[in-house]
Structure 1
Amino acid sequence: MSARRLTKRVVDDAQPLERRYTVFDTDIRGFGLRVFPSGEKSWIYEYRSAEGGRRAAKKRVTLGSTKKLTADQARSEAERLRARVNLGDDPQRSKARERVALTVAELAKAFMDDHVRAKRKTATVSSYEGTIERYILPALGAKKAKDISRTDVARIHVGLRATPALANRTLAILGSMFSFAFRHGLTETDIAPSRGIPKFRELHRERFLSTSELEQLGNAIRQAETVGIPWPNAEHRSKHHSEARSVTHIGEHVAAALRLLVFTGARLREILHLKWENVDLERGLLLLPDSKTGRKTIVLGAPAIEVLGGLTRVGSYVIAGDGAGRPDERPRSDLKRPWSLVTRHAGLPGLRIHDLRHSFASFGVAAGMSLPVLGKLLGHSQPQTTARYAHLDADPLRRSANAVNAMMNKAIGREEPSPTPSRG
């Protein structure tokens, strides 16, 4: 067909033939109207890539149907592609790359399968999975990974500002994911879209139980295990509820888990994933094959040994979980509900399970335990981790303050007061 300046009239006049044909534009070389025997019509742009010169085979890019693009819109798109070709770009190759480019959901799956699950511990895998599924995929999952901008990431980060630690962890996971993508050739740039976004300031919260608070907690655990704790709304219970159902109990294994957390200063997963094969009651040791810091030995005190010695053995896990005793048994996943029940009844709202670990350290320092020994009991791999508890050891400073005060008090002629008792 002879070339013509492509307009709406040309489109309307082009009739289908037995074979497909193309009418090219007189103004833009390669811009054409393709007419199919079915009557369908579409806009195309043909070109030779700059790499092959005149000998290169022609390539074709379909711009779209005449039902979706007007002649003027198709012309503008053809002009844009011609400019790209003149600058050395290959639109067809770029379009093919666009079609096969990974989405964020696909990148996340490769990241989890080939990096996180292969190289990280179970707790880390679980943490990454939860963050990706709850916060990253809903916002970015369907988008192409290569198209994710800093603005996209910043929007997620700012959206989690009420929980600074979670916001910063999400930012770090995204950074790690895109670094993985570049190392494995899944993206073309090593600049992660999370780079340059300032983290939120995190307020590290540490709570240490006093002796009286620890006593309250112990009493609540004991009551929950024996007579039970009243439901929060027991006074409003329906007449259809029996007296027996107005209280909640915790089983012996849950009670044992809470007591072991108190007596050992261990991490939650170290207790919930503990197997009987790793318990040496004769020597008073827990021989953990894997923990947050690798292999670890927990030295048990007499109360912890007593708890373990009196516990019913059901299955391979010390704290019986789902399907205990069955081939497919799994460790208990958490203690959220019983912990909420016990702390509410003990009058300790907001107390976290991890605060028991801080409290163990607090009592250890108050008893005169050195930081290196405390670090070994807690399983710290770095001395600086234990050093965070150094400020709790106030006794040496208090003795020095009392000595200085005594001399100054004597100098001004006042009666010397009794020394302030130290915690112990």
Structure 2
Amino acid sequence: MSISWDKPNKCWRYQFDRRIQGSRHRASRLLPRGWTQAQADAFDRQESARLYAIATGVQRQDPLIDDAVSLYLADKRHLKSYKATADHLNQIAPFYAGKAMSTLADVAKEVIRDEGARGVSPATIRNRLACLKAACRWGWKAHALTEADPTARMQLPAVRNERHVYVKREGMLKTARAATRHDVRIAIRVAFYTGMRLGELQRVRVHGNVLELEDTKNGDRRAIPAHPRIHTCLRYLPLTAPKITLQRGWQRAREATNIGDVHFHDLRHSAASEMANAGVDLYTVGTVLGHRDPRSTQRYSHLTAAKLSDAIGAIGKRVGQKLPHKAAAKGKKKAAPRAA
């Protein structure tokens, strides 16, 4: 029997051991945890037929997506996101198990269609496929499983989930004062004045008046000068309380002030909003936030409309001539006393 229960690993194991045309052909593979026996038997039929076809020369050897996933997970155990990545890959394993790398684009379409029909959010589907894409690209680049990039035709679903919720300084201070924990008050103030994530506040190192992160979400080192208003908060960093404790402290403070559906992460967006409204260019805003991809900063582009208006108004302008919207604003200021 090709399928047996692997008690130590708590999952099914597939084994292929046959003598074909005078040669011994063996293969063994642990199947994803959570698979039922029916799923394991279906894999047995499909994989045994494939291996038999390869052994008899009917089918050319084509690397499996499973091979790329196994190599990726073996090589990337150091990643902070390793557990989440392994879980994402396991969730869609029934779609790619036993499938060749050349079928990756079709596998992605099946995931999008079937997972979407089950009610899985587009963002979650995209994250799962992004992990699969990274694994297959790693198999190509690091292990030469294929001659060309197998993800070239792979399509990921579009996701539009940017939040545009911003908190003004007054709202931030009101919420910080409502917090019952001192470290939560520190977290709120520092997040607003630096744009740092909650997890980053637990890893940050302070050198003088500079906040440094050696290991960020995108893997780059980041240094942020501390705003004068948070100099007194620096001695309490990094925060040592569990993340869930800080999050619950934020939720209680938010409910006490009735500021609405504002997430702690929205303080990061608020920092970007404050900088963009003050005329800071988006490249600099992205640098402060640690964005590697400029597209991540484009969500704040609508906040720089006045600056873009200045740029457009400068076209063909004579030296010394005022920009249209500034001249209009000046006229309104002069007209105000007459109306009073």
TM-score range for the pair, normalised by the shorter chain length: 0.5 to 0.7
Match of 2:69 in 1: 108
Partner of 1:198: helix, strand, or coil? coil
Deviation at 1:202, TM superposition (A): 2.1
Once residues 401 and 153 of structure 1 are traced to their aligned partners in structure 2, the CA distance between those partners, rounded to angstroms, is 50
Deviation at 1:285, TM superposition (A): 1.2
1:10-409 aligned within 5 A = 58=22, 90-91=55-56, 104=66, 107-114=68-75, 116-117=76-77, 122=80, 124-125=81-82, 127-133=84-90, 135-137=91-93, 139-140=94-95, 143-146=97-100, 150-158=105-113, 159-160=115-116, 163-183=121-141, 192=150, 196-211=153-168, 214-225=169-180, 251-274=181-204, 278-280=205-207, 283-291=208-216, 292=218, 294-309=220-235, 311=236, 318-321=238-241, 332=243, 335-371=246-282, 373-380=284-291, 386=297, 389-395=300-306, 397=309, 400-401=324-325, 403=327
C-alpha distance 304-174 of structure 1, shift in aligned 2 (>3 A): same
C-alpha distance 144-361 of structure 1, shift in aligned 2 (>3 A): same
C-alpha distance 47-354 of structure 1, shift in aligned 2 (>3 A): closer
Once residues 186 and 249 of structure 2 are traced to their aligned partners in structure 1, the CA distance between those partners, rounded to angstroms, is 12
Which deviations, in whole Å up to 9, do the C-alpha atoms of 1:24-78 show, x marking residues without a partner? Answer: xxxxxxxxxxxxxxxxxxxxx9985xxxxxxxxx5699xxxxxxxxxxxxxxxxx
Deviation at 1:150, TM superposition (A): 4.9
Check the 8 A contact 1:107/1:145 in 2, yes or no.
no
Match of 1:232 in 2: none
Match of 1:31 in 2: none
In structure 1, runs of 5+ residues without a counterpart are 1-44, 49-57, 62-80, 226-250, 312-316, 323-331, 410-414, 419-424
Deviation at 1:293, TM superposition (A): 5.4
Using CA pairs under 8 Å that are at least 6 residues apart, name the structure with larger relative contact order, 1 or 2: 2
Q: Identity across aligned pairs (percent)?
A: 20
> Normalized against structure 2, the TM-score is what?
0.61
Letter of the 1:299 counterpart: P
Cα RMSD of the aligned pairs, angstroms, is: 4.5
In structure 2, runs of 5+ residues without a counterpart are 1-17, 26-48, 311-322
Check the 8 A contact 1:102/1:186 in 2, yes or no.
no
Partner of 1:393: helix, strand, or coil? helix
C-alpha distance 285-179 of structure 1, shift in aligned 2 (>3 A): closer
Deviation at 1:357, TM superposition (A): 1.7
Deviation at 1:298, TM superposition (A): 1.1
Once residues 113 and 287 of structure 1 are traced to their aligned partners in structure 2, the CA distance between those partners, rounded to angstroms, is 31
Once residues 105 and 149 of structure 2 are traced to their aligned partners in structure 1, the CA distance between those partners, rounded to angstroms, is 10
The structure where helix makes up a greater share of residues is 2
Check the 8 A contact 1:265/1:360 in 2, yes or no.
yes
Deviation at 1:304, TM superposition (A): 1.7
Deviation at 1:128, TM superposition (A): 2.3
Check the 8 A contact 2:194/2:224 in 1, yes or no.
yes
Deviation at 1:111, TM superposition (A): 0.9
> Normalized against structure 1, the TM-score is what?
0.51
Which deviations, in whole Å up to 9, do the C-alpha atoms of 1:280-317 show, x marking residues without a partner? Answer: 3xx311122232352221111123222234x3xxxxx7
- The structure having more radius of gyration, on CA atoms, is 1
